């Protein structure tokens, strides 16, 4: 390939191409998980472009992101969550042999499980997800977007004090030495994770398992 034919460092930002729509969903999920501004580093932009150009499903990237976020919480990583952090999980997902398709009733079972929960957010999720159409990756993408919107709305409407307090408690000495902006960024990411723990059934991983086994 000549230098002039090398791919650009990031997806085109014309708002209409499939890559732009895919990239926007990944960025939305990343921001929902970590907080902060909706932008990618040059390394993340290039990684995302290459993944999408290579046909990696958006749903697989979203699941890898959530796996990375959970792993970081256990390790108390201070650096911001990025797509680079998801590379290891994504590599494992891509290398795994295709799972046999789940039985046709698996999605219905997932919806019934949501509807059976006493939490009103789960009930609303079940209502919205039941109205979706499609199958496979198309359905998974819609479902993840619906669930993400629900827990982002719940976060924005929540009183943040108890989640911040729990985040500070969990972070402990890991906050030592951080300047104020960095300290706030780390606290927000962990507080968001604390908040999401109330709704584990709305994760990309749970949707993935329900549709792909």
What pLDDT, on a 0 to 100 scale, did the predictor assign at position 74? 74
How far is Cα 33 from Cα 193, in angstroms, rounded to an integer? 7
Query: 78 and 167 in contact (C-beta within 8 Å)?
Result: no
C-alpha pair distances (Å), 89 with each of 28, 72, 160: 19, 12, 30
What pLDDT, on a 0 to 100 scale, did the predictor assign at position 58? 93
What pLDDT, on a 0 to 100 scale, did the predictor assign at position 80? 83
The residue to which tokens 């796996």 are assigned: 67
What pLDDT, on a 0 to 100 scale, did the predictor assign at position 7? 41
Q: Estimate to the nearest angstrom the gap between the alpha carbon of 141 and the chain centroid.
A: 11
What pLDDT, on a 0 to 100 scale, did the predictor assign at position 210? 86
Closest CA to 78 of 201, 173, 205: 173
What pLDDT, on a 0 to 100 scale, did the predictor assign at position 13? 53
What pLDDT, on a 0 to 100 scale, did the predictor assign at position 98? 74
Host domain of residue 70: 3-212
- Mean pLDDT per 10-residue interval, the chain, length 213 residues: 40 62 93 88 92 93 93 77 92 84 83 96 96 88 95 94 94 91 92 93 91 75
Q: Count how many domains the chain has.
A: 1
């Amino acid at each position: 390939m000549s230098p002039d034919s090398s791919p650009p460092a990031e997806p085109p930002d014309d708002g209409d191409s499939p890559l732009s729509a895919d990239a926007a969903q990944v960025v939305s999920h990343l921001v929902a998980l970590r907080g902060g501004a909706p932008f990618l580093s040059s390394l993340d932009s290039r990684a995302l472009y290459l993944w999408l150009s290579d046909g990696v499903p958006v749903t697989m990237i979203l699941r890898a992101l959530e796996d990375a976020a959970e792993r970081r919480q256990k390790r108390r990583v201070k650096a911001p969550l990025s797509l680079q952090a998801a590379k290891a999980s994504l590599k494992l997902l891509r290398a795994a042999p295709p799972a046999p398709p789940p039985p046709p009733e698996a999605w219905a079972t997932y919806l019934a499980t949501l509807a059976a929960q006493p939490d009103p957010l789960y009930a609303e999720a079940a209502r919205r997800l039941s109205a979706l159409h499609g199958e496979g990756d198309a359905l998974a993408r819609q479902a993840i977007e619906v669930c993400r919107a629900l827990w982002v709305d719940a976060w924005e409407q929540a009183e943040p004090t108890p989640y911040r307090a729990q985040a500070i408690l969990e972070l402990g000495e890991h906050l030592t030495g951080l300047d104020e902006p960095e300290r706030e960024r780390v606290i927000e990411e962990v507080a968001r994770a604390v908040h999401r723990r109330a709704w584990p059934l709305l994760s990309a991983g749970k949707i993935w398992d329900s549709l792909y086994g």
